[in-house]
Chains A and B, each alone.
Chain A
Amino acid sequence: MGFLVRRFLFYLAAFLVAITVNFALPRLMPGDPFEIMFAAAQGKITPEQLPALKAQYGFVEGPWYVQYGAYLKSVFTWDLGPSVLFFPTPVSEVIGYALPWTLFISGSATLISILIGSLMGIYAAYHQGGWFDKLASPTFLVLGAFPAVVMAMILFYIFGLVLEWFPISYGYDPDLDPGWNLTFIGNVLYHAILPILSMVLISIGGWLFHMRNSMIHLLSEDYIRMAVGKGLSRRRVMFQYAARNAILPVITAVSMAIAFIVGGAIFVEIVFNYPGLGNLMLKGVMVRDYPLIQALMLIIVICVLVANFVADLLYLWLDPRLRQ
């Protein structure tokens, strides 16, 4: 229990630091977003309207600590003001629409690559130096070196443009009415295949390699030899004895890479014009939608921290040595 409380406090601190940076960055940057908006409006906004505009976007006049207090309040009440791009829709609502799409593709991509990657890693370790190990390990290592955006563009070009096997845009066919029916769900899956595949292809190598190396190291442990000596089935030795132990360092390694997975999702969404946070971020940056960008940063921070916390819980569940 002490472990969990410590981790939770750590994440709380990390969260506070992150939102403080999020608060400070726009204010440290030269220029004022409202001056830019003012200039962009080309006379449609009068100087007298400027304070009202600032207030509407949650920018409070006053010393930094007053601004900071107001900012903290807006973060914790999730009242992040209206979006510039989708005015007057509140930022929270805009994000609420896009977030599920991102969670869907990055979540499924992560689960798929964990599952396939670690199974392949286990197999490669068990048959170290075999044909699979010789072929798959370097292949996925090379694929893992691709930036997400490059992988997405390659798949986009080959399977989307040239072969036309998969759609190249949107989360679902705009002609369909969203609903919990097979046609719609099938269509969503069909649209998600290429984005998910691009993320899986670049992240699977990490799992494969970590799992393989961790397993090879573990296979020389005495308890593995004893498990074999006990006459347990090959499968039981492989999973209950070897993989259960090998996965622990892998979880640590991958939880540190979660930020990259989220970062990768952003580019993949942009390439496939997928209606998630990444796409939203691109649009927001284009029109300098500061409230939206700031809220997106906040969401990404929360996602990364939550994912890390989940990894901690998983670790705790798998390793009794941490439970005291």
Chain B
Amino acid sequence: MNQGSSTGTILEIRNLCVDYLTEKKPVRAVDRVNLTVKRGETLGLAGESGCGKSTLAFSILRLHKPPALIPEGEVIFNGEDILCMDEERLRRIRWNDISVVFQSAMNCLNPVVSIRDQMCDVILAHRNISKADAVAQAANLLERVGISPDRMNDYPHQFSGGMRQRVVIAIALALDPQMIIMDEPTTALDVVVEREIMAKLEELKHQFGFTILLITHDLSLLGEISDRIAIMYGGRIVELATSEQVILDPKHPYTNGLINSFPLLSGEKKVLSGISGFPVNLWDPPPGCYFAPRCEACMDICKRENPPLIEIEPGRQVACHLFPTPEGGAE
């Protein structure tokens, strides 16, 4: 791994917006997101369906498709803005430096091309080695994720769902990337297979030392494997803290609601409450805090002004009017 001079930041998302163009007006799916990913960490990104977490993940590598477009923002990877790169530079960054494990393992392998060719094509697209070496490398990767290299010539439909997800992870590891974006890598799988995959991932992270941006709506999973968690609501980051802080001491009312919607594996029994109301309609968003209509602690200011994401203590950020800026100056 190239550890570089800065052990600190690997990826910095600054003021990123993503709009979906519709007939009438653009709908903002990701709204001025600022997020810093530290080298070597596992950063979790959680939120309800439709909160913009996958859109955010795709836009990092510019994998968003029309009608989505990025009107403003920066995605700084190792000091370079990915959003400003030309096609060829971007092509080289993709997978070589940042790879992606997609949501649906069932659908993200090409059904008519063998596993071997799908692994070799990405190796050969980035490395100047012979086909035979690429095949050997692919065999090695499959072995690492626990799939027999004999099965390399098989096609995706000949594998089970869990195996396919492991193949996808093997492909994601193919070029020894610095960072892997995982978009709900285990959503399509049952809990037993999910556990198996996540354990494998931990082990591989240990070996390779990559950084993970893990996107999921499964907070209990995040609590176990991530270092920090960012909570997203309506395209905005509403809270960012260490996993422990988020799970045990959530600050934002929305995070609190999320935590109370599922049972923790460890810890005492509690009554699950959930969150009333419906997710914000981004077609016609309220003027103030997006969560205000569902929030039990809603105040007058919440309906008028959107709270900025501020640091309430070192390394801990919340966007909520309940937490005024420490200096008491800005708002």
Query: Which residues of chain A have a CB within 8 Å of any CB of chain B?
Result: 220-223, 225-233, 236, 240-241, 244-245, 248, 318-321
| Contact residues in B for A220 (Cβ distance below 8 Å) | 65
Cβ-defined contact, B125 with A318, below 8 A: no
- Starting from the known contacts A223-B108, A226-B108, A244-B110, 18 additional A-B residue pairs (CB-CB under 8 Å) come to A225-B102, A226-B102, A226-B109, A229-B100, A229-B102, A230-B94, A230-B171, A231-B90, A231-B94, A232-B125, A233-B91, A236-B121, A236-B125, A240-B110, A240-B121, A245-B111, A319-B111, A321-B111
Q: How far apart sit A233 and B61, CA to CA, in the bound complex (Å)?
A: 15
Q: A232-B122, A236-B121 are in contact. Are A321 and B157 (CB under 8 A)?
A: yes
Contact between A222 and B104, CB atoms less than 8 A apart: yes
User: Which residue of A has the minimal Cβ distance to B112?
Assistant: A244
**Nearest chain-A residue to B94 (Cβ)?**
A231
> B84-135: which residues lie under 8 A (CB-CB) from chain A?
90-96, 99-100, 102-104, 107-114, 121-122, 125-126
Bound-complex Cα distance A233 to B87 (A)? 10
Where the two chains meet, the residues of B that have a C-beta atom closer than 8 Å to any C-beta of A are 58, 61, 63, 65, 90-96, 99-100, 102-104, 107-114, 121-122, 125-126, 155, 157, 168, 171
A230-B95, A231-B122, A232-B122 given; A320·B110 CB < 8 A: no
A318–B110 alpha-carbon span in the complex (Å):
12
Query: Whole-angstrom distance from the CB of B156 to the nearest CB of chain A?
Result: 9
Closest Cβ neighbor of B154 among chain A residues: A320
Q: Number of residue pairs across A and B with beta carbons under 8 Å?
A: 81
C-alpha gap A220/B68 in the complex (Å): 13
Cross-chain pairs A/B with CB under 8 angstroms, 11 sampled? A223-B108, A229-B61, A229-B100, A230-B121, A231-B122, A232-B91, A233-B125, A244-B110, A244-B113, A321-B111, A321-B112
- Majority-rule SS of A interface residues: helix
Task: Give Cα A221 to B91, complex, Å.
Answer: 20
- Tell me the minimal C-beta distance from B223 to chain A in angstroms: 27
Contacts of A229 in B (CB 8 A): 61, 63, 94-95, 99-100, 102
**Distance of A89 Cα from B274 Cα, bound (Å):** 89
**Which residues on A sit within 8 Å (CB–CB) of B113?**
240-241, 244
Closest to A247 in B: B112
In the complex, the answer to whether A221 meets B63 with C-beta atoms within 8 Å is no
Distance, CA A199 to CA B93, complexed state (A) = 47
